[in-house]
Amino acid sequence: MNKIKLGVLRETKNPPDKRVPITPSQVVKLTERFPDVDVFIQPSDIRCYTDEEYQYLELNLTEDLNPCDILIGVKEVDPKTLIDNKTYLFFAHVAKKQPYNRELLQEVIKKKIRLIDYEYLTDYNNQRIVAFGRWAGIVGAYNGLRARGIRTDEFNLKPAHQCKDMDEMFAGLKKIKLKKKKILVTGGGRVAMGAMETLSQLNIREVTPQEFLTEEFNEPVLCRIDPEHYVKHKGGMQFNLQHFFKHPEEYESTFKPFTKVTDIYIACHFWDPKSPKFIEAEDYLEPDFKITVIADVSCDVNGPIASTVRASTIADPFYGYNPYTRKDERPFMSPKNITVMAVDNLPGELPRDASSDFGTNLIDKVYPSLFGNDDTGMIERATIAKEGKLTERYAYLQDYLEGKE
């Protein structure tokens, strides 16, 4: 029986992403668990795990991945490097008709590639199986606190990407003293839970939404709110989460009261473009608007939070939003500006931790179906294209693929 050859791609997206889909020790675990699989790693000088760490475990490093059957990466692959008739797994960012990746999908079709998108690997309940969301929340909340420290000169936190790992980042966080402030988190999924994990390092009191809105405290406090606390049905119907997800256009925002009492806002919610917005541009001009730092972990540019006018980068994570001009400026220029953090690849700041977590989920939850029988249909549900055409589930992308929309 011929062995399955699995190739680990070098990341080619710019700016560079240091994450890997499998760590050196996980390659060893994978080959022990799946003895019919051989793994080959393309050399890279930007990975968070060095070539030497793979070589130390006597793993196969090779520039040529042509002999491989399956190729795995993290971010989108450079279309020019795609190899005909292979199976690829990566975050493709084409299923929402992203215009900047149309060429990528066109090459996938042209080269008869089977494209499996991590984002659409789901269970029976349509819950994602592998994701970096927790790490986005962990780093995003930390960055929000770091922005507050710089803005006020109260404390100085080391940039997350300069920390070896989460343990070092949290060790620094535990040393700071936060003054009497109110911190708000929106969302209830992996991202929000990651943010709460970071904020728990401060050992500050968590209060209810009602307490947060109506009471004053002599200590810093934290509150996390779900959709029922920031939207309501236009017709007065009792809030139902599933109905909100299915019919977001029937709801209106009730978020404004939180803008009057919040100091640091960490946005970790999922937002549908049909949903109401959280903060409109005119809200920032109201005299009792209190938020000074917004860590928009969700990073919906020109979406629910008007101050998120662009994404920021790991190298330059902050900018100032001028509420009068509605434009971004250099960070910390004016106390009248809102400090915005909107890094769109936050897990890349703790790449070793995030990669290890991600790789474990792939080994435990994805590879058994990928290398064996896809009894649950998980792989098929995430397959966007194969044999030179879109799969039935993603046939709606045809006009996008052809440049008609």
Give the strand pairing for 338-341 and 318-322. antiparallel
How confident is the chain (405 residues) per 10-residue block, as mean pLDDT?
Answer: 93 88 97 97 96 97 97 96 98 92 97 97 89 96 98 96 96 94 96 97 97 97 97 96 94 98 96 92 97 96 95 96 98 97 94 96 96 94 97 96 90
**Taking the mean position of all CA atoms in its chain, how far away is CA 388?**
30
Q: What is the pLDDT of residue 327?
A: 97
Axis-axis angle for helices 133-152, 166-173 (nearest 10): 30
* Ordered structural domains, the chain, with CATH: 4-130+352-401 (3.40.50.720), 133-349 (3.40.50.720)
Q: What is the pLDDT of residue 127?
A: 86
Left, alpha or beta for 187 (phi > 0: left; psi -120 to 50: alpha)?
A: left
Among 239, 300, 232, which residue's Cα sits nearest to residue 271? 300
Q: DSSP 3-state assignment of 221?
A: strand
- Residue 6: enclosing H or E segment and its boundaries? strand 4-8
| pTM for this prediction | 0.88
Q: What is the pLDDT of residue 1?
A: 64
- Dist. CA 182–CA 223, nearest whole Å: 8
Structure letter (DSSP) for residue 101: G
- Dist. CA 391–CA 223, nearest whole Å: 43
Q: DSSP 3-state assignment of 390?
A: strand
Q: DSSP 3-state assignment of 232?
A: strand
On the CB side of 282, how many CA atoms lie within 13 Å of its CA? 0
Among 40, 68, 75, which residue's Cα sits nearest to residue 54? 40
What six digits make up the tokens of 338? Answer: 């809102």
